[in-house]
Chain A
């Protein structure tokens, strides 16, 4: 999903960089409202883990691969704004690996970071509202939300491409191709996200931001916790 240099023209890329810079500023401010000392290394770990798993391309169709974007996963682990910052850090480091264009950094921070973290987390919260208040619902919600976040990311790329693509192409064809392949990649994203959230919930449920309503020991009793809203 990393947009390389050249796909999108300079003006659109610069505009995206400005919006991304504004987004990072807001995210730092929002993160500083809740992230305490104890969570700093966890957020660092989340970024490092997303970097690692982004290297694990899986096959999605003949001659095509996909990899985790990780924004939804990070958002559910450390909160949506800190999650967007995690992916931003990953993208900055990846520039030194020549992965994702340098002029395209703002575009990628928006598509792969903010759209997946904020959009994915909104979907996750929505799903949790309608599902029973228990751990398995958190895992299921995380998988579905993460999968759909990839499709959202592909849609936002398409908007950027429509505004600033360096070629004139039939937009419908590009849109259909982007959505098709990213729906498949979304399945992988959903499975990896659900597996990771399930693993963390099984060892340290108190460390999952998106499940902090389940973390107090009282609510693990089967007698309580059947009703209530997600904060």
Chain B
């Protein structure tokens, strides 16, 4: 097992790679409808879709509303999404991680 600073470097590098992907690759992503939307159009249930409750969100449809340039707007929305996902993930996994003394709790609580 390597030390903690090496793992920290891995996480930072991974986040930078994710930023690079959304900033420099996502503007060139294929704009066509995805598999499910295509099937919905071809099979005739696309019109059952209702308006999204967050369609007025400042980040709706992977854009930052105040930025005019399409590619930049999409990239920046991606950066915001990565930061939000990372933060929410850290919070959830900090809650869901292994507790320090699970054995003591188990001894007290189980099979009585």
Asked if B34 and A85 sit within 8 Å, CB to CB, the answer is no
Do A2 and B43 contact each other (CB < 8 Å), given the known contacts A43-B93, A86-B89? no
Q: Is B66 in contact with chain A by the CB < 8 A criterion?
A: no
Say yes or no: A40-B93 contact (C-beta < 8 A), given A48-B82, A96-B59, A181-B38.
yes
Which residues of A sit under 8 angstroms from B11, Cβ to Cβ?
41-42, 44-45
Interface centre among B4, B11, B62, B85 (most CB of A within 10 A): B85
Known: A63-B33, A64-B33, A165-B45. A28 touches B85 (CB 8 A): no
Known: A31-B96, A167-B44. A48 touches B89 (CB 8 A): yes
- The answer to whether A41 and B90 touch across the interface, beta carbons within 8 angstroms, is yes
A sample of 18 inter-chain contacts (CB < 8 A) reads A32-B96, A44-B11, A44-B85, A49-B17, A55-B78, A58-B29, A63-B38, A64-B33, A64-B34, A65-B30, A65-B31, A65-B34, A93-B81, A96-B54, A98-B57, A101-B50, A181-B38, A206-B2
Would you call B67 an interface residue if the criterion is a C-beta within 8 Å of the partner chain's C-beta atoms?
no
- A residues within 8 A CB of B77? 97
Q: Are A56 and B40 in contact (CB under 8 A)?
A: no
Q: How far is the CA of A174 from the CA of B45 in the complex (A)?
A: 10
B36 at the interface (CB under 8 A from A): yes
* A169 and B21 contacting across the interface, CB-CB below 8 Å: no
Give the top 8 A-B pairs by smallest Cβ distance, nearest first.
Answer: A44-B89, A6-B50, A47-B89, A52-B18, A65-B30, A48-B86, A98-B60, A181-B35
Instruction: Give, as a whole number of angstroms, the nearest-CB distance from B63 to chain A.
Output: 9
Interface string of A69-95 (1 = CB under 8 A from B): 000000000000010011001101111
Say yes or no for A223: interface residue by CB 8 A criterion.
no
Nearest Cβ on chain B to A27's Cβ, whole angstroms: 8
A147 within 8 A of B: no
Specify which chain B residues have a CB less than 8 angstroms from the CB of A182 in the assembled complex. 35
Cβ distance B70 to chain A, nearest Cβ, rounded Å: 13
Cβ–Cβ < 8 Å partners of A38 in chain B: 4, 7
Name the contact of A53 in the complex, choosing from B8, B21, B87 (C-beta under 8 A): B21
Chain A: interface residue total (CB-CB under 8 A): 77
| In the complex, residue of chain A having the shortest beta-carbon distance to the beta carbon of B21 | A52
Known interface pairs A177-B43, A207-B10; 18 further A-B residue pairs with C-beta atoms within 8 A, sorted by A's residue number = A3-B36, A4-B52, A7-B40, A32-B96, A35-B93, A36-B97, A45-B89, A48-B82, A51-B78, A52-B26, A52-B78, A67-B34, A85-B93, A93-B85, A96-B59, A102-B52, A167-B48, A204-B10
Bound Cα distance A31, B38 (Å): 36
- B68: Cβ under 8 A from any A Cβ: no
Is A226 in the interface zone, CB < 8 Å from B?
no
Contact A55 B85 (CB under 8 A): no
A39 within 8 A of B: yes
Query: Nearest residue in B to A182 (C-beta to C-beta)?
Result: B35
In Å, the complex CA distance between A47 and B86 comes to: 6
Which residues of chain B from 81 to 112 have any CB-CB distance to chain A below 8 Å in the complex?
Answer: 81-90, 92-99, 102
